[in-house]
Amino acid sequence: MNALAATNRNFRHASRILGLDSKLEKSLLIPFREIKVECTVPKDDGSLATYVGFRVQHDNARGPMKGGIRYHPEVDPDEVNALAQLMTWKTAVVDIPYGGAKGGIGCTPRDLSMSELERLTRVFTQKIHDLIGTHTDVPAPDMGTNAQTMAWILDEYSKFHGHSPAVVTGKPIDLGGSLGREAATGRGVVFATEALLAQHGKSIKGLTFVIQGFGNVGSWVARLIHERGGKIIAVSDVTGAVKNQNGLDIVDLLRHKEKTGRLTNFSGGDHMDLNELLTHECDVLIPCALGGVLNKENAADVKAKFLIEAANHPTDPEADEILSKKGVVILPDIYANAGGVTVSYFEWVQNIQGFMWEEEKVNNELKKYMTKAFQNIKAMCQSHNCSLRMGAFTLAVKRVARATTLRGWEA
């Protein structure tokens, strides 16, 4: 089941639990606007290349739309749609005043030079500049994009609209980016994990962890868990997997990855098969990479007691059922990885105020939002007698439905 079908299914389940009006349910699923643009860009060799760019703006009942822009060869309109909808629910779960959006350009970033990427980003911005904005739709980095991409969008947008630092988040610090943004998604995952474990009378210290994915999110999760005394016994990324039953030294591993560009051949651990990682014996499993990694083929073999979804949609619905029956506690992606968008919100707030915060304030506020959101999810689980995933979805859908109704959606 693809991401769109799974998201729709979760939404429908939540709206049944809440007893939503069928017309309201339908109107919440339909995106506000879908944009498709053709970006023709001169390549360095003088030839012309055309790339297709998308932006799906899903819902703006609770505030401006918010979501990443990815540069990836398989930017599929269906997937962008699902991710835009997911952003609507994610922002509602942590109660920040946004709706969802998502965008992307179908390209392979590593095949493009820096100047080709810049030209592509500027052309894309020229085509959508009147459809994004500080109080309309605020893009952010995603797969294949970064702070530099945001700097180009900001510059191009500002040519049309005057200096507008709040039009994108995830910017370089020198252009109004927020301290703590780089680590925000990973730090949010750790705060979410702490909230869940505390409810089960446990803490990170002394538990064993397996982390799939060692990019921005995975490496920060590993670093922060390691600092808190958690024992990380296996880690993987696209280059390979490494394990050590006594706990990997994450600081050393990060150094090794920076130096060699890969996790393999690390002296502080043994090589392991990538396919074994998800079913490795541990207390807490944290997938931080791609979607759909837990499916009906491997779910029955998962040995973790807690599954923290740091990636978007890592567990497909069949796996969800198998794991739940086994008693695995799943912390859903729409809550677990919301730290990134929460700190993006803090960045936007700082830009609008023209007043920047200390990193300590950013991290403290993030902890406050993540902890409060967990308590709200638990309350929904208790009142509707449902899983954490449905607790998060019902919380989100209820908030968006309420905002939509209060604004008068039938007029």
Q: Which residues are catalytic?
A: 102
Of 366, 350, 368, 312, give the one whose Cα is nearest residue 180: 366
- Residue pointed to by tokens 């908030």: 399
Residue 40's CB is within 10 A of a number of other CB atoms, namely 10
Burial class (CB in 10 A: 0-12, 13-18, 19+), 175: middle
By residue count, the chain amounts to 411
- DSSP symbol at 390: H
How open is the CA angle 300-191-310, to the nearest 5 degrees?
Answer: 40
Q: CA-based diameter of the chain, in Å? A: 66
Beta strands 231-237 and 240-243: pairing type? antiparallel
- Indicate the Cα dihedral angle 347, 97, 84, 220, nearest 10°: 40
Query: Residue 359: phi, psi to the nearest 5?
Result: -60, -35
- In angstroms, the CA 354 to CA 165 distance is 9
Q: Does residue 66 have a known ligand-binding role?
A: yes
Q: Does residue 90 have a known ligand-binding role?
A: yes
Burial class (CB in 10 A: 0-12, 13-18, 19+), 23: exposed
Q: Does residue 344 have a known ligand-binding role?
A: yes
**Cβ proximity of 237 and 215 under 8 Å:** yes
Q: Which two tokens stand for residue 194?
A: 């702490």
- What is the residue type of 361? K
Using CA of residue 203, residue 335, residue 7, residue 101, what is the dihedral sign? negative
Of 390, 378, 399, give the one whose Cα is nearest residue 200: 378
- DSSP symbol at 189: H
Q: By three-state DSSP, how is residue 36 classified? A: strand
Binding-site residues for NAD(+) sit at: 185, 216
Known binding positions = 66, 90, 185, 216, 344
Q: Which residues are part of a known binding site for substrate?
A: 66, 90, 344
